[in-house]
A and B are shown apart, each in its own frame.
Chain A
Amino acid sequence: MSGKKSLGRFLTENAVVILFLLITIAAIPSSGLSIQYILQEMITRLGRNTFLVLALILPIYAGMGLNFGMTLGAMSGQLGLILAINFNVGGVEGLAFAALLGTPVSVLMGYICGSVLNKAKGREMVTGYMLAFFINGIYQLVILYMMGAIFPIRSPAILLSRGYGIRNTLNLEGVRQSLDNLLMLRLGGYALPLATFIVIAVLCAFVIWFKKTKLGQDMRAVGHDMTVAESAGVPVDRTRIIAIIISTVLACYGQIIFLQNMGNMATYNAHDQTSFFAVAAILVGGASVKKASIPNVFIGVILLHVLFVVTPRAGQNLFGSAMIGEYFRQFIGYGVIALSLVLYAWRARKDALRAREGLRRASIAAAPEGAAK
């Protein structure tokens, strides 16, 4: 009975990962892609996306759920990149320049986001999601109307023909794959962007170290129970704001790493799906709204992207249209988030019922003793 229960528990806890694994295993043979090709794609995509997904860990740790507000950080990174192109600063220096310019903006955005989320405790995810829409409006206003009109733009190549506003797509030629190519290791037919992986490893080390610090422990306490943390003297609101600021700044750097790998930037909508794909990846990796770890990030990025690589080809081979695969991966992006949230809510309800039942049993067991006294 207990074995059955623990198996059931394992299955419900890892339902998303198992489901994904099954779909992926089924899709690989139909895609007709070689394992070597898929592996190389995974290496590239791990370098491209992992930093962004890692940015989600600390807010989860602080009990703020999945930070859909990371889009704000992505926008800050894009602003930094626009300025780097405008001033014609290229290479790794260009990336560092963009990151440095994006940092104060992302700190400000993180502060605003954290403050708003503190006013909406318990509804952080939907609030962050809506806030991203609001800030997106401001971003578009700045980029589309103010740049070139109020803020001087040196490079005419990035301006719209009317003389103000940034072009729809920017060519990031100056910084294209500059971090990836900084230390490119060729090993057995595979190209490993070592510098990008070093940056990711440093971030992983930072996350591990940060969790052990006083602030990290405060975040854990806040994430566990805000009331208890407050009673214990932990500045709850401040700690939550710091978690969101760190996440936003990391999202800013993550977006810069992502875009340098892509080599071009859709100025007005490159950030639209940033949070969706990061959230989908971490959920696919087995994380939940309340719990996430570094292995969840790596498993999630690999599983999600294997599926992204194989489904268009599988769709092409099975149904004669690559668009079915494209549709499938969009559908999966939303589906995974919905499934995880539903499973989380269902589990939380079940846990609460179980706890209540346990409490009732304990009180029944204690009642005769009390009566005897």
Chain B
Amino acid sequence: MSEKKVDPKIAARRLLVRGGLVVAYVFLVGLFFVTGKGHTVLVDNKDAADGSAVGINGALVSIDGREALEQYPGDRDIVLLKGQRHRVRIQLPSGEPPIEMSLALPLNTDMLLLSIPKLVAKQAGYLEEFVQRDQPRPADEKVGDNNAFTSPDAPVTTPAP
């Protein structure tokens, strides 16, 4: 049962290949995380809290060339985005040339609030993290009590209380 002696050159090459594989694995995980990371952006057309910017009547907001959202003062729309770099285009009702700019979303933030009035007024803080305060919790669920042999297509049934 003696261990076979491996040529040091082969052992070194093996180590190199294995190390390379680990590096490639970590790189790919990172790459897919960054490129696939989703963000929920709330496109907001409410007045700024300090009154420095007011909601725009009939602004058309389009992100990444998607269908434009027609916004009126007090409106808030939800947009799901993937990745960090995006392009926003705002068409004002006054007929001025559209405002176009790129958005860089922070990787670590899931939900952001994009204030259209602040962006149009070129104020800082037009993009900020949005934290839901009183987040509704889902109702309690019983788990592990559905042990039936059903087809994968069968709907998941919750037992009667």
Contacts and interface: CB of A to CB of B under 8 A. Distances in A.
A333 B32 contact: no
B135 A144 contact: no
* A-B pairs, 7 with minimum CB distance: A93-B36, A89-B36, A97-B32, A161-B137, A168-B141, A90-B38, A88-B38
B139 A174 contact: no
Nearest to B35: A93
Interface stretch (B51-59, B93-101, B149-157): B149-157
Contacts of B138: 157, 160-161, 167
Interface in A239-280: 258, 262, 266-270, 272-274, 276-277
Given A161-B139, A262-B152, A91 B82 contact: yes
B31 to A, nearest CB: 8
B33 A87 contact: yes
A90 B33 CA distance: 9
Nearest to A269: B146
B7 interface: no
B53 to A, nearest CB: 29
A334 interface: yes
Interface string A175-195: 000000000000000000000
Given A161-B140, A268-B144, A330 B151 contact: yes
B110 interface: yes
Contacts of A262: 152-153
Nearest to B36: A93
B94 to A, nearest CB: 37
B80 to A, nearest CB: 8
B110 to A, nearest CB: 5
Contacts of B147: 269, 272
A96 interface: yes
Interface residues of B, number: 32
Contacts of B140: 160-162
Interface in A91-112: 91-94, 96-97, 100-101, 103
A21 to B, nearest CB: 20
Interface in A298-339: 308, 326, 329-330, 333-334
Given A155-B110, A161-B138, A169-B156, A90 B149 contact: no
Contacts of B150: 273, 326, 330
Contacts of A94: 32, 36, 38
Contact of B151 (A87, A155, A157, A333): A333
Interface of B: 25, 28-29, 32-33, 35-39, 80, 82, 110, 135, 137-144, 146-147, 149-154, 156, 158
A262 B156 CA distance: 12
Given A97-B32, A308-B151, A330-B149, A168 B143 contact: yes
A167 B141 contact: yes
A326 to B, nearest CB: 7
A140 interface: yes
A90 B82 contact: yes
Nearest to B153: A308
B78 to A, nearest CB: 13
Nearest to A136: B144
Nearest to A264: B156
Nearest to A267: B143
Given A88-B38, A160-B140, A161-B137, A93 B151 contact: no
Nearest to A173: B80
B82 A100 contact: no
Contacts of B144: 140, 144, 268-269
Contacts of A274: 152
